Structure 1
Amino acid sequence: MSTGIKAKDEVHGGEQVDAVYPEVLVNPDLMGDAVDGENREHEMGVWEAVKSHPWACLWAFIMCFTIVMESFDMFLSGNFVALPAFQRRYGVQVEGSGWTIPTRWQSALFQSGQCGAFIGVFLAGPITNLLGYRWTTMLALILMNATIFISFFADSLTVLTVGQALEGVPWGLFIANSPAYASEIVPLALRGACTATLQMSWSIGSIIVAGATYGYNQRDDQWSWRIPLALQWIFPTPLLVLIFLAPESPWWLVRHGRKEEALRSIERLGEKSGKNSQQTLAMMERTVEIEAQIGGTPSLLDLIKGTDLRRTIITCLMYASQNFAGNLIANQATFFFEQAGISTNKSFQLNLINSCLSFVANACSWFLTAWFGRRTIYLWGTATNVVLLFILGICASVPTSNAINYAQACLGIIISFVFAGTLGPISYTIISETSSVRLRALSTGVGRAAYYVAEIPMIYLASQMLNPTGWNLAGKCGYVWGSTACVCWGMAFFFLPELKHRSYRESDILFNRKVPARKFKSTIIDVKDNE
C-alpha cells in the first residue's frame, strides 16, 4: 500500500501551513491506514506498549530527566536558607531565632530562577517550532553548563541571585519541551505514565539536594553550599550526548513535511513492522491535516482563538494550580521543619526522607494513571490535600509541644507524598494531552508561564508566612494553602475534561464540538470522523 506523498504548502489567511497532506483525507487507502493505526493504539494495553516500544519509553524518560536540573536548583535554594554556614555568611541575627536570611533575600533566591524560566518558556515555543525538540533542548543544555559558573563563583547574594535568574532560562526550555516530546513519542497507553515521570525527575533532584545538603550542613565554611552547587555540572553534558542520539518527535517532523525522517523516527521508537509504521504515519498525517485546515502557521495569538482558548485556559489552570495545593511546603521542606520546631540536623534528615517518599509516590502514580482517569486522580488528590492542610493548620494552632512539632512535620511529609503521587504528576499528563498538536510547543510554554506567574508571588507569600522576620505562621500556613486548594478543586470539577484513552484526533473533535468537561468521557467519537 503506497503512502508516497509529497508535502504541500497551503496558504490560510496569508500564512503558510508547514505541512499539509490533503491526500490522506481523500485517498481511501491512506485513510484506511490512518484508521487502522488509531484503532491499534486504542487496542494496545500498557504492558504490550512497553514491550513493543521500550526505546520510546527510554527517550521519553531521558527528555523528562532534564527537569532534574530545575528541581535540583529549586530545592537547593530552599535548603540554602537553612544551612548554618550560609546563614552566618549572608544572614542577620534575629533574637530568639539566631542567624536567618532576611525574607526579601529568601524570596529573591527562590524567585530569580523562576523569573528566568518565565523568559525561557516564551522562547521555547518559537525556537522549538523552528529547530525541533532535540536541538532546542541541546542548546538549553549548553547554556545551562555556562550559567552554572556564575552561581558557583558568586561571592554575594546579589551575584547568586543573578546566576539563578540566568540558569532559569534553560529551565524554561526544558519544562516546556519535555511533556510535549514525551507525549508525542509513546503510544496512547503509555502517555500517562511517561509524562508523569516529569514529577519523578523533580523527586530525583530533591533527593540529590537533600543528600548533599544533609552531608554538608555541618561544615562551617563556604563549601557547605558551593559543593552542592557544583553538583549541577553532573547532568548537562551526559544529557547533551544522549539527546543528540535521540530521535526527533515524528509528529513535529510530519508537521514540517519531513515524511521520510518521520517514518525513520517511528521505526526507531518501536514500530519495526513496515505495515505498522506506515499506519502510524498515516494516523499522524490525518491529525496534522485536520488541524492545518483550522489554522495556518502556529503563533501565540492562536492560543486565544476559537476552541484553542479553552484548551489554553485548562493548560494554564493545571500548571498554576500546582502552587496552591501545598507544593510550596515541599519546596521549602527543610526550612518548614525548622520553623515547626525540629532541630537543624533532624530537619535535614526529614527532608531526605521526604524526598525519598516523594520518589516512591511518583512510582505509584504510574499505576494510578493506568487504573484511573486523569480527572479522577486530580480531584481526589486535591481533596485529600485540602483535608490534610486544614489538619496541619489545626495542629499548629494548639499549644506547642514536642509531639505537636513532629505531628506538623509528619503532616508536611504526607502532604508532599500525596502531591507527588496524584495531582503533581497527573498535571503534566493533562497538560500534554490538552493542547492541539499544531500548538503544543507554544501551549506547554505559555502554560508553564502561568505556573511562574502564580508561583513568583506565592513564593514570596510562603517565605513571608514561614520566616521569623515575616509573619512566622509555621504550620498555620495550612489554613492558607487548604483554602487555595479548595478553589483548585472547584475549578477542576467544572472545567477539567477526561482525556484518558483519547487520541489527539478525538481530543480535537471533542473540543471543536464544545463538549462540556464532565461529558468528555461518555461522548462517542466515530473513528471515521474528520472534523
Structure 2
Amino acid sequence: MESSESRENGDERRTLWRYAKKYRKVVWVTFGLASAILLYGYDFVIVGTVSGMPEFQKDFGELHNDEWILPSLWLALWNVSSPLGAMFGAVFGGWFQDRVGRRLSLATGSFLSAVGVAIMFVSYIPTDMEGRRLAFLIGKLVQGAATGTVMAATQTYLSEILPPVLRGSGMAFFPVFTLLGQLTGALVIFGCLNQKRGYVIAFGSQWPFSFIPMIVAYFVPESPTWLIRTRKVDKALVAQARLDPAGTNTKAVVNQIAADIAHEEETTKNTTFAQCFDRRNLRRTLIVLFAMSIPNFFGLPLLAKASYFLQICGMKASLSIIFLILGIILGLLANVASVWMVSKFRRRELTLSTLSLCTLFWGSMGVANCFKGNGVVWWTAASMMLTIITAGVGVWPVSFAVAAEASSLQLRAKTQGLGWTVSAFSTALSGIALPYVFNPDAGNLRGKVGFTYVSSCGVAVVLSWFLLPEMKGRSVGEIDRMFEMGLGGREFGVWRGEERRTGRD
C-alpha cells in the first residue's frame, strides 16, 4: 500500500495553492485560529518593548549616569515573569484541553489574557515605585499564563485538523502571525513613544486581541480527534464534515482517526503527563521539547528586545524602534515565504542549513563589537536583521511543524503543553541571563553577546543532526510505525513501509 509521502510525491502537479483550495475549510479555520497567535505576538512585543519607552523608564526606572535605565533585577524579573506564567499556563492547558476540549480551553485562555492586560493597564497608579513594579510583574505573570494556555490549545487543535500535505505550511502560521502581531505592536509602541504615559495606551490596545480568539472559539468546530478520544463519534462526524472538502468520505476519515487512536491505546492506555516520559513515548516527547526550545537557541529572546538592546549598544531610542519594526517586517516576509518553503523542502535540510547561517551572523556581530566606531552599532543591527530573515525562512517555522508531528494523538495535548512549558522555561532562562550579560550595570558585554549565540546555535545544529526525524508528508499511522520500529532521524526520510490507507491526502 502506498505511503502518504509517495502519494504526495506522485502528485507534483498539485501545488500548495491547489491543496489550499481543496482544503479551503481547514485553511479558513487555520486563519481564524491565527488570531490566537496574533495575540501571542502582539503581547510579546508590547510587554517586552515598553522597556524601551522613555516614559516607562522614567515611571519604573532609576537614574544611572544621568540617564534613565531599568534596574537589572527588575528587568530580569519582568523578562522572566511572562515565560514563567506561560509555563504554568501551558501545563494547565495541556491538562485542561483534554478535559473540556480545544475550543473551551482557547476561550478560557483568551479571557485570562484580558484580565492580565487590565492589571498592567493600572500598574502605574501606585505612588510607591516598588508597588508599580510589582503590579506590572503580576500583570505579566497573568498574561503569560493566558498565552501559554492559548498557544498550547491552538497548536494541538491545528496539528489535529491539518492534513499531512498542509501540516508544515499550517504550522508556519505560528511565526508568520507571531511577527505580524509583533509588527502591529511595534507600530503602536512607535506611535505612543513620545506621548505622556504612552505605554498605558499600548497596554489598553491589547484588549481587542484578547477577545478575538474567544469569538473564533465559538464558531470553529471542535477537534474531531478529541471528540473521538472522548467517545463522541457522532459529534466527530459532524465536526469533520465541517472541515472536509466536498465529496470526501467523512466516515472513512473518522474511521481512520479512530483506528490510529485505537492502535495507540494498545500501548498508551493512560493519557497522563507521566506517560509522556514512559520509555515508549520518551523519544517523541524529547523531540517535541527540543523543537519548541529551538527559537531560544537561535536568539529569538534577544531579537524581540532589539529596541532596548540597540539602545544599550549606542543607538538612539527612536532609531532603535525603527530597526525593531524593520526587523519584524523582514522576518514577516521571510515567514510568509516559509509557508511555501516548508511545503517543498525537507525539515532537516531547512533546519541544519539555516541554523548554520545564524551561527555565522551572530559570530560576525560578536567580532564587530570587539572594535569601536559608528559602523559597529550599524552592523550589530544588520546582523540581527539577517538572523531573523534566515531563521524565518527555515528553522523557526520548521520547529513548530516538528513539534506538531512528533507527538502521538493520545498524548498530543499534554505533549504540546509540555513543549510550550519548555519553550517558556528556556525563554525565562534567557530573560534572566541576558540583562546581566549585556546591561551596562552588570556584565556590560553589549554587542559581544553575539558570541553566546554562536555557542547556542552550534549546540542546536548538533542536536538537530542527531535528534530530528524527517516527517514531511507522513501520516499519523506512518509516524507511529517509524517510531515503533526505532528508526534513526535520517532513516525516517527514506523509509517506504506500508500503512493503513487514509481517507485524505
**What interval of TM-score do these two structures reach, taking the shorter chain for normalisation?**
over 0.9
Q: Deviations over 1:163-187 (max 9, x none)?
A: 1101111111112122221122122
1:73 maps to amino acid: D
Name the structure 1 match of 2:254: 281
1:227-306 to structure 2, matched below 5 A, reads: 227-273=201-247, 276-306=249-279
| Stretches of structure 2 lacking an aligned partner (at least 5 in a row) | 125-131
Confirm or deny: 8 A CA contact 2:3 2:496 kept in the other structure.
no
The Cα of 1:61 is off from its aligned counterpart by: 2.6
Q: Is the 8 A contact 1:340 1:409 kept in 2?
A: no
Give the match for residue 282 of structure 2: 309
* Matches of 1:411 and 1:374, distance apart in 2: 24
Q: Partner of 1:360 in structure 2?
A: 333
Q: How does 1:123-162 map to 2 (within 5 A)?
A: 123-155=92-124, 156-162=132-138
- The more displaced of 178-187 and 364-373 is 178-187
Of 512, 521, 526, the match for 2:484: 512
1:184–1:342 distance in 2 versus 1, CA, 3 Å: same
Residue 81 of structure 1 is matched in structure 2 by: 51
Task: Output the CA distance in 2 between the equivalents of 1:124 and 1:139.
Answer: 9
CA contact (8 A) 2:477 2:499 kept: no
CA contact (8 A) 1:150 1:159 kept: yes
1:472 corresponds to 2:444: yes
Q: Distance in 1 between matches of 2:435 and 2:30?
A: 35
Partner SS, residue 93 of structure 1: strand
Residue 18 of structure 2 corresponds to which residue in structure 1?
48
Per-residue CA shift, 1:173-208, capped at 9, x if unaligned?
112122221122122111001111011121012111
1:436 to 2:408 alignment: yes
- SS of residue paired to 1:322: helix
| 2:40–2:147 Cα contact (<8 Å) kept | yes
SS of residue in 1 equivalent to 2:63:
strand
Shift of 1:527: 2.6
- Does structure 2 retain, via aligned residues, the 8 Å contact 1:78–1:335? no
Q: Is the Cα–Cα contact under 8 Å of residues 210 and 352 in structure 1 kept in the other structure?
A: yes
The alpha-carbon deviation at position 232 of structure 1 amounts to 0.6
**Correspondence for 1:194 among 152, 170, 194:** 170
State the match for 1:421 in structure 2.
393
Query: CA–CA distance in 2 between the matches of 1:257 and 1:38?
Result: 30
Aligned to 1:64: 34
Q: 1:232 and 1:528, CA in 2 relative to 1: closer, same or farther beyond 3 A?
A: closer
CA distance in structure 2 between the partners assigned to 1:41 and 1:305 by the alignment:
33
Tell me how far 1:237 sits from its aligned partner: 2.2
Where 2:493 maps in the other structure, the secondary structure is coil
Larger deviation, residues 80-89 vs 430-439: 80-89
2:471 aligned residue (499, 506, 511): 499
Q: Quote the offset at 1:126 in angstroms.
A: 1.6
Shift of 1:447: 1.2
* Alpha-carbon separation, structure 2, partners of 1:183 and 1:57: 13
How many Å apart are 1:351 and its aligned residue?
1.0
Secondary structure at 2:266 match in 1: helix
**Are residue 337 (structure 1) and residue 313 (structure 2) matched?**
no
1:336-358 CA-to-partner distances (Å, cap 9, x unmatched) read 22122221111111111111111
Which of 379, 401, 407 is equivalent to 2:352? 379
Post-superposition offset of 1:153: 0.8
For the 8 Å contact 1:325–1:485, the answer to whether it is kept is yes
Inter-partner Cα distance in structure 2 for 1:382 and 1:519: 21
Show CA shifts across 1:65-88 (max 9, x none): 312223222222321221111111
| Structure 1 residues 504 and 41: alpha-carbon distance in aligned structure 2, compared to 1, 3 A threshold | farther
How has the CA–CA distance of structure 1 residues 40 and 282 changed in structure 2, closer, same or farther, with 3 Å as cutoff? farther
Distance 2:426 2:370 in 1: 27
Of stretches 233-242 and 201-210 in structure 1, the one that deviates more from structure 2 is: 233-242
Unaligned runs of 5+ in 1: 1-31
SS at match of 1:99: strand
The answer (yes or no) to whether the contact 2:362–2:450 under 8 Å persists in 1 is: yes
Deviation at 1:272, TM superposition (A): 2.5
Structure 1 residues 528 and 214: CA distance shift in structure 2, 3 A: closer
Contact 1:37 1:283 (8 Å CA) reproduced:
no
Deviation of residue 429 (structure 1)?
A: 0.6
Deviations 1:92-130 (A, max 9, x none): 11117x110011111111211111111111111221111
**Shift in alpha-carbon separation, 1:49–1:438, aligned structure 2, 3 A:** same
Q: Deviations over 1:133-178 (max 9, x none)?
A: 1111111112222232111011211101101101111111112122
TM-score (norm 2): 0.93
| Range with bigger deviation, 414-423 or 379-388 | 414-423
Distance 1:379 1:408, change over 3 A: same
Taking the TM superposition and a 5 Å limit, the aligned residue runs for 1:83-102 are 83-95=53-65, 98-102=67-71
Alignment size in residue pairs? 492
Conserved 8 A contact 1:118-1:449: yes
Contact 1:182 1:194 survives alignment (8 Å): yes
CA contact (8 A) 2:25 2:245 kept: no
What amino acid does structure 1 have at the position aligned with 2:92?
A: L
Asked whether 1:111 is paired with 2:111, we answer: no
